[in-house]
């Protein structure tokens, strides 16, 4: 039986990652789409053969028979559509960040529970093949002892935070913070430092986190650095993974190193450039995971409760600032 989804938002990310990834899942039908910009919705509908186009998500929810809805719009605009989708008892997939405060995400989680809805935030790093395999290799040898998430970008010349109205931490560094929570689990204590390099808005977020598992997490980010560099480290018993996503990880085990390449993990045959981009960056796997959860009524790896914990850590990093 097919799974019928509706997509709200036909912007850049929807076009590059979300529509084509859902469209290639067996038995998944994009039955309707919506954007306040009719041309955008129309262009994606034509490209992916979507039969129903709306400019008002309420009309889409009312007139279309759907199993689930994806909401791919900026986080500060999520409140009303998320509540409307959940009120209808539908399953929901949203982009990161999952709202603007932890309290908001928790409230949505509570409604999802009440309605028995599958509710997932698309934290794609949890689905990148190289990261998943590196984590698996470390955990195969025992618990993770330490993880590092580093994110650097060259935005120091920008007079305004490019992610307004949300700060860089809540909008973009959230990928790194969620990675640390994913590898570490529940947070016991944390010390953070937030600062500004060359600009009058916060653009460097650093933290040391102690997890209940005993593991330690290190966050190191700076958006006035040399270029976009994303890196992760995962360490365990006699094993280390230095990850350069999305293409490779250097695995060291008992003094010997080898390189894990994404080409060895996934089949890219027949995929065009966009298809490869979606596969290696986890967009194919995150959308497939959601559809699988909808069909089997399984709780997604990054459900709204889990997302709320990441949002709590974001707020703690802001509040604990050493200045
Ligand atoms: N995981 C990732 O790597 C990744 C990458 C890029 C963007 N994102 C996330 O995806 C989301 C969207 O980003 P984007 O770059 O596509 O933004 P965008 O501005 O390109 O697109 C947003 C679209 O939403 C539409 N929209 C806004 N409010 C609407 C409403 N009420 N009803 C219908 N349509 C509405 C706008 O008209 C626009 O077309 C953001 O939350 C962003 O953080 C995630």
* pLDDT digits 0-9 by tens, 79-119: 999 999 999 999 999 999 999 999 999 999 999 999 999 99
Percent of the chain with pLDDT over 70: 99
CATH fit for domain 3-123, picks 3.40.50.720, 3.30.70.3400, 2.40.50.140, 3.40.50.1220: 3.40.50.720
Q: Kindly give the distance from the C-alpha atom of residue 95 to the centroid of ligand 1, in angstroms, as a whole number.
A: 8
Confidence of residue 1 (pLDDT cuts 50, 70, 90): confident
Percent of the chain with pLDDT over 90: 98
Ligand 1 atom at shortest distance from the alpha carbon of 281: 3
Ligand 1 atom at shortest distance from the alpha carbon of 94: 41
Confidence of residue 306 (pLDDT cuts 50, 70, 90): very high
Query: What is residue 267's predicted lDDT score, i.e. its pLDDT?
Result: 95
Mutate to test the pocket of ligand 1, among 7, 10, 11 (most ligand atoms within 8 A of CB): 11
Cβ < 6 A, ligand 1 pocket: 8-14, 34-37, 40, 57, 72-75, 77, 81, 95-96, 122, 124
Confidence of residue 133 (pLDDT cuts 50, 70, 90): very high
Query: What is residue 323's predicted lDDT score, i.e. its pLDDT?
Result: 56
Mean pLDDT of 257-280: 97
Structural domain 129-267, CATH architecture:
2-Layer Sandwich (3.30)
Return the domain boundaries, the chain: 3-123, 129-267
Ligand 1 atom at shortest distance from the alpha carbon of 122: 1
Q: Which residues pair with 119 in a beta bridge?
A: 92
Q: Kindly give the distance from the C-alpha atom of residue 261 to the centroid of ligand 1, in angstroms, as a whole number.
A: 31
Q: Could you read off the pLDDT of 172-196 as tens digits, one per residue?
A: 999 999 999 999 999 999 999 999 9
Mean pLDDT of 244-273: 97
Confidence of residue 322 (pLDDT cuts 50, 70, 90): low
Mean pLDDT of 15-34: 98
Mean pLDDT of 288-317: 97
Q: Kindly give the distance from the C-alpha atom of residue 235 to the centroid of ligand 1, in angstroms, as a whole number.
A: 35
pTM score: 0.97
Long-range pairs for 85-89 at CB < 8 Å and ≥24 separation? 85/61, 86/111, 86/112, 86/115, 86/117, 86/119, 87/111, 87/115, 88/61, 89/115, 89/116, 89/117
Mean pLDDT of 269-277: 97
Ligand 1 atom at shortest distance from the alpha carbon of 77: 28
């Amino acid at each position: 039986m097919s799974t019928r989804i509706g997509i709200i938002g036909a912007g850049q990310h929807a076009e590059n990652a979300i529509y084509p990834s859902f469209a290639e899942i067996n038995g998944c039908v994009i039955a309707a789409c919506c954007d306040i910009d009719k041309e955008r919705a129309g262009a994606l509908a034509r490209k992916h053969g979507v039969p129903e186009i709306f400019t008002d998500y309420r009309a889409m929810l009312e007139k279309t028979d759907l199993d689930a809805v994806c909401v791919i719009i900026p986080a500060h605009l999520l409140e009303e559509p998320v509540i409307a989708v959940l009120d209808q008892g539908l399953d929901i997939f949203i982009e990161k960040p999952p709202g603007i405060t932890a309290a908001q995400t928790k409230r949505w989680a509570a409604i999802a529970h009440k309605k028995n809805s599958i509710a997932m935030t698309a934290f794609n790093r949890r689905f990148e093949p190289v990261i998943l395999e590196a984590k698996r290799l470390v955990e195969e040898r025992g618990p993770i002892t330490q993880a590092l998430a580093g994110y650097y970008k060259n935005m120091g010349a920008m007079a305004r935070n490019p992610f307004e109205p949300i700060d860089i931490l809540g909008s973009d560094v959230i990928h790194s913070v969620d990675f640390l929570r994913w590898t570490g689990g529940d947070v016991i204590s944390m010390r953070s430092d937030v600062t500004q390099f060359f600009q009058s808005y916060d653009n460097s977020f650093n933290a040391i986190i102690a997890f209940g598992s005993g593991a330690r997490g290190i966050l190191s980010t700076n958006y006035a650095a040399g270029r976009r560099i994303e890196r992760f480290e995962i360490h365990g018993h006699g094993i280390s993974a230095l990850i350069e996503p999305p293409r490779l990880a250097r695995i060291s085990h008992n003094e010997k190193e080898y390189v894990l390449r994404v080409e060895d993990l996934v089949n890219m045959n027949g995929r065009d450039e966009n298809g490869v981009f979606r596969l290696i960056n986890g967009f194919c796997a995150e959308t497939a995971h959601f559809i699988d959860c909808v069909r089997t009524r399984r709780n997604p790896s990054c459900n709204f409760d889990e997302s709320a914990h990441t949002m709590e850590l974001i707020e703690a990093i802001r509040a604990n600032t050493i200045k």
